[in-house]
Amino acid sequence: MEQTQQGVKRELTHKGNEDVASIKDCYDFEEDTKGQGAGGQFQFMKNAKNKMIFRNPWASNEEPAETSTSKDVLKKAESVGTKSTSTQDKSSNKSKENGELVDFRNDIKYVISGLKEKSQNVQILSALFMSSKCTSAEFRQFCRNHDILDLFLANCVKYTKPGPSLALAQSTIIYLLSRDKGNFHFSQKVIKVITSSIEMEEDLSDEYLKTKEKIKETLREYIVSVNKNNDKPVTFEVVDEKVTPKNLALEALLFISISNSSTKFRDEIHKCGMLGLLAELANDLCAPYKNAHTITSINKFEEKQLNVLLRLILHNSMNHGTNKAYLTLFKKNELISNLQDYFNFLCEKIKVLKEDERLDVEKTNIIQVLLNLTLNLTEENELCCSVIGKSHLFVKNLCCMLGCWTNKYINEKHRFINLMSAAGCVANIVEACGKNRRFLLSETCDYYDEKKKETSVIRIIDCFAKCFTFLESQITVIDENIDHMLDNDIDEDIGAVSDTSDDDLERESRNSRIEMVKLRNEQKEKECNVLFTEVAEKYATSHMEINFLASFVGVNLGLLIQTDEELADSIRAHIPNGKFGTMNSLLQRFLDFTSQIHQNRANSCIRAVSKIIENLEALDCLR
């Protein structure tokens, strides 16, 4: 009996491995093997010498007889102990895995057979069944391991006619598979389906509306299942506007682009025409804002869709000269011009905000993406810098964003990226084009004094000088606070900052020290150490961010001053000690950091910063 059981186990394991190895060969089935029904997988058991007979002891009134064989087996199991239990667990896990593979294989068999049916309703139901199965993480992993998506799409192309309902189901499947971590297999079949889904128009037929409701249920189920074991919850608004073939395809493409950051992938996006399609869609959405004064309200859904499109364009043009040149020249610079008009429109919305108001999240996100995209396109791209420089309003708004609006109207968590991007954009366009430098030297912008909480209009170069001075003072404050945190004499430092201080960092430092004193007094050393670590990490992050910002503002000042002694003298009135020593030391640290990146694209930045340091040192020597 024991030999027979071992033989059965070997056969099951062999059969399971055989199924996995030949799984893709089994999909193009036309008919099952003759004489093999639902129990065909277990035909080998017919030839077993000692056939296994399964009896249910509860089916009769007789009590199960205790044979000598069963007693021996029990004694042997008891002697093995935990080792036997471990072996059984492994065996059960293996059986479970093989069982799942068989189930998944049968599911795919069912889907493909449904797609081969002539009835369009059956085809759509098969695609909906496939999308519902994709809510399972194990099934999605199975699909990735065996290229099931390509198989499914190939059969869709072969046996079905394109339509909104099928496109909705297909885009949902691609979306669900794309959200998992890891590289997504981006094949020609996926490209064709995403392209056709983006171009697919919705209809209001009963069939399509029923399909949409089924897809909504699937998406809700997916969100619930993923969020159970996820620290960062997955968010997706399951509303009619977002559950469309176009929107789901764009969202899926965004996740695919994020997971595939190679140059080869970006080449493919350009060659297949996807980049042109994305640029066309973004261009059409921004075109109405050329006459911004005529627009009174914004379509919220279009705003979100534009955000997705801009992020897609950004990801697929980053560090890719060919794609950046294509976007710059798209429709004779029309895309660049329309993006500038949209940015200027958002800036007009900022200008009408009240003193204590904050720009809403959607507009803040689009501003951030627009700034990042502009920074990316202007990097080592003289043509783009020249085109952007023609819009004086856009360049002036960039300076206002750097000197005033970000600190005054943008939520704190977005400030660092916005300030860095705005400063980087200004540096790129000034370095690449002398006309842009001359314009900035003759123009004014808004400046927000964070200490006095006042806004004023001053020269752009003076605005940059004041920004640098403020950032440099913040670095000093953080350095002092870190020293205080490392000091053992915390009690003596509590009164160092007044309650009426307008400096957020100083006030926050004081409150943290008071909290630590309370914890120490209560003899909660562990909690005190945790708080100390959190505060130290926060200060370290702030120190790094402010150093970067001050360095970028210093670069802008250096590019504007160059070797002009008169400009240098006017700037000295705003900086500590009237010398560029502090700025030079900061730029030198920034240069050392940049040099360690070991990237070819950092060479131009290194040369530019080195030249600025030389010029500022020469100006100090002449004084």
pLDDT level of residue 303 (50, 70, 90 thresholds): very high
* Angle of the 164-178 helix axis to the 120-133 helix axis, nearest 10: 10
- Check residue 16 and give its pLDDT: 46
pLDDT tens, position by position, 396-422: 999 999 999 999 999 999 999 999 999
**Would you say residue 251 has pLDDT above 90?**
yes
Pick 409 or 18 by higher pLDDT: 409
**Would you say residue 81 has pLDDT above 60?**
no
Cα distance between residue 298 and residue 275, in whole Å: 25
**Would you say residue 290 has pLDDT above 90?**
no
Cα distance between residue 367 and residue 602, in whole Å: 26
Cα distance between residue 235 and residue 433, in whole Å: 43
Give the angle 552-579-557 at the CA atoms, nearest 5°. 25
User: Where do the domains of the chain lie, and which CATH numbers do they carry?
Assistant: 89-225+239-246 (no CATH), 261-442 (1.25.10.10), 463-623 (no CATH)
Pick from 82-86, 229-233, 431-435: least confident: 82-86
pLDDT level of residue 277 (50, 70, 90 thresholds): very high
pLDDT level of residue 30 (50, 70, 90 thresholds): very low
The two structure tokens encoding residue 562: 């160059």
What's the mean per-residue pLDDT of the chain? 82
How many angstroms from the chain centroid is the CA of residue 387?
Answer: 29
- Check residue 339 and give its pLDDT: 96
Give the angle 430-310-463 at the CA atoms, nearest 5°. 30
pLDDT level of residue 47 (50, 70, 90 thresholds): very low
What mean pLDDT comes out for the span 288-299? 76
- Check residue 155 and give its pLDDT: 94
**Would you say residue 27 has pLDDT above 80?**
no
- Check residue 300 and give its pLDDT: 87
pTM of the model: 0.80
What mean pLDDT comes out for the span 256-284? 94
The percentage of residues in the chain with a pLDDT greater than 90, rounded to a whole number, is 56
DSSP labels, 505-534: HHHHHHHHHHHHHHHHHTT-HHHHHHHHHH
pLDDT tens, position by position, 183-227: 788 889 999 999 999 999 888 899 999 999 999 999 999 999 988
pLDDT tens, position by position, 465-484: 999 999 999 998 888 877 77
**Would you say residue 374 has pLDDT above 70?**
yes
The two structure tokens encoding residue 241: 């506007």
Q: What is the four-CA torsion angle of 348, 354, 356, 357, rounded to 10 degrees?
A: -50
| Rama region for 182: left / alpha / beta (φ>0; ψ in -120 to 50; rest) | left
Pick 407 or 21 by higher pLDDT: 407
Query: Exposure of 225 by Cβ count < 10 A (0-12 exposed, 13-18 middle, 19+ buried)?
Result: middle
Residue 32: DSSP 8-state: P
**Would you say residue 370 has pLDDT above 70?**
yes
Name the strand (E) or helix (H) holding 459: strand 454-459
- Check residue 49 and give its pLDDT: 40
- Check residue 89 and give its pLDDT: 55
pLDDT tens, position by position, 60-80: 444 444 444 444 544 444 444
CA-nearest of 349, 346, 365 to 357 is: 349
Long-range contacts of 86-94 (CB under 8 A, 24+ apart): 91/9, 94/13, 94/16
Cα distance between residue 395 and residue 383, in whole Å: 16
- Check residue 295 and give its pLDDT: 73
- Check residue 432 and give its pLDDT: 92
pLDDT tens, position by position, 320-364: 999 999 999 999 999 999 999 999 999 999 999 998 899 999 999
According to DSSP, the residues that pair with 444 across neighbouring strands are: 459
Contact 219, 243 (CB under 8 A): yes
